[in-house]
Amino acid sequence: MKFKITREGAVKELDNFIETNLKDYSFKRNFDFGPNDKSNVSCLSPYITHRLITEFEVAKKVLGKYSFQKVEKFIQEIFWRVYWKGWLELRPQVWTDFIGDLKDIKDDKNYMKAINGETEINCFNDWVRELKENNYLHNHTRMWFASIWIFTLNLPWQKGAEFFMKHLFDGDAASNTLSWRWVAGLQTKGKHYVAQSWNISKFTNNKYNNVKLNENALPIIDKREYKLNPLNFVTEDNSNENLLVFENELNLENKNLKKYKNIYLVLLSNDVRKLKLEQKVLDYKSQLANDQKKRLDQIQIIDEAEFQPVVEKIKSFDVIYPCIGENNSYLNSMRKKQNLNLNFVLKDEDKFSWQFSNKGYFNFKNNIPKILSKLNV
């Protein structure tokens, strides 16, 4: 399984999926046919995570060919990513606590067996190998994996979320962290996801049968409560000549870039990341960044070491807003240390959509038609 490293390639993948496989998506999407056949799902997430193509661009193209009623399930799945981002933006402390929790969890022998695919559960071991080799897993399989990790192997959900982020090309702070919390029973208090042997058998076409699992597990309990923080993107200066971009916002085609004297694309190394990424993932991000530079040659790709002398001279930037997560945390630390003035540039689509992330996904889902109408999608 090979993912594209250019926007052009990503758009072609989207177009091909719409033309050939989208019509069967709703009734085939839950099947995992193995690492060599993902034709029943779009596999667009690595591109959407880095905003090489956006959720809204995907929706617009899909609805240009099919009616909303015919592709409603696919549109809903795409908008889960928008919902998760908005949910985390409204509750940023969840990310802070997740990172803090990891510092207090030790890697014991059971954890090492799990990440090396040496458990007594064959399907789980196969998925570990697939994740490491392909840097991707089917979404249904991610749910089984997380459930087995938490409820059968009795490992901390935080370490599982960290393991996914380390290896996934589509690792996204909001989608990944909150999905693991949902499986554990923390996202919707008391409502967890427990993998069932019959379900794994059915949706792997009987590849895995009679999997020995804890199917009567209780949800994880965490007494921490998270209040809503208002979305507040303060414009401090609107006359910047300098633009900052991070690797999770790589689509600048529709931006007015003529006013910028300098455009810096900051690609963080593991030296400053709280969650250390596998080298293949870092290389993938680097390749995507280089593709953006080919499309817009005024971009300068720099790491945190090269960014340091820049901020010692320049104190005011426009910033394509990096959502809550690794890049955002790094930028906020630099903002405090260097007393930076930052004007966050946020997509209108995101800003409008995130207001519906204040409750559960059912509420958000009911507002998808309103979002599409508002944005002329």
Q: What are the tens digits of pLDDT across the range 141-168?
A: 999 999 999 999 999 999 999 999 999 9
What is the pLDDT, as a whole number, of residue 377? 67
Q: 168-183: per-residue pLDDT in tens?
A: 999 999 999 999 999 9
Residue 356 has pLDDT above 90, yes or no: yes
Residue 304 has pLDDT above 60, yes or no: yes
Q: In what order do the strands lie in the sheet with 262-266?
A: 299-302, 262-266, 242-246, 316-320, 341-345
Q: Which of 236-245, 276-285, 290-299 has the lowest mean pLDDT?
A: 236-245
Confidence of residue 255 (pLDDT cuts 50, 70, 90): confident
The stretch 11-17 carries a mean pLDDT of 95
DSSP state of 257: -
Question: Domains of the chain (ranges plus CATH)?
Answer: 1-91+347-377 (1.25.40), 102-203 (1.10.579.10), 242-345 (3.40.50.620)
Q: 178: part of which helix (H) or strand (E)? A: helix 173-184
Residues with Cβ within 8 Å of residue 352, at least 6 apart in sequence? 371, 374, 375
User: How many residues belong to the chain?
Assistant: 377
3-state secondary structure labels for all residues of 121-177: CHHHHHHHHHHHHHCCCCHHHHHHHHHHHHHHCCCCHHHHHHHHHHHCCCCCHHHHH
What is the pLDDT, as a whole number, of residue 237? 52
Residue 286 has pLDDT above 90, yes or no: yes
What is the pLDDT, as a whole number, of residue 224? 94
Q: 186-238: per-residue pLDDT in tens?
A: 999 889 999 999 999 999 999 999 999 999 999 999 999 999 988 876 555 56
Between 157-167 and 173-184, two packed helices, what is the crossing angle to 10 degrees?
150
For 294, the token pair is 């080919």
Residue 119 has pLDDT above 80, yes or no: yes
What is the pLDDT, as a whole number, of residue 236? 53
Confidence of residue 240 (pLDDT cuts 50, 70, 90): confident
For 311, the token pair is 């901020």
Phi-psi label, residue 310: left if phi above 0, alpha if psi -120 to 50, beta otherwise: alpha
Question: What distance in Å separates the CA atoms of residue 123 and residue 125, rounded to the nearest whole number?
Answer: 5
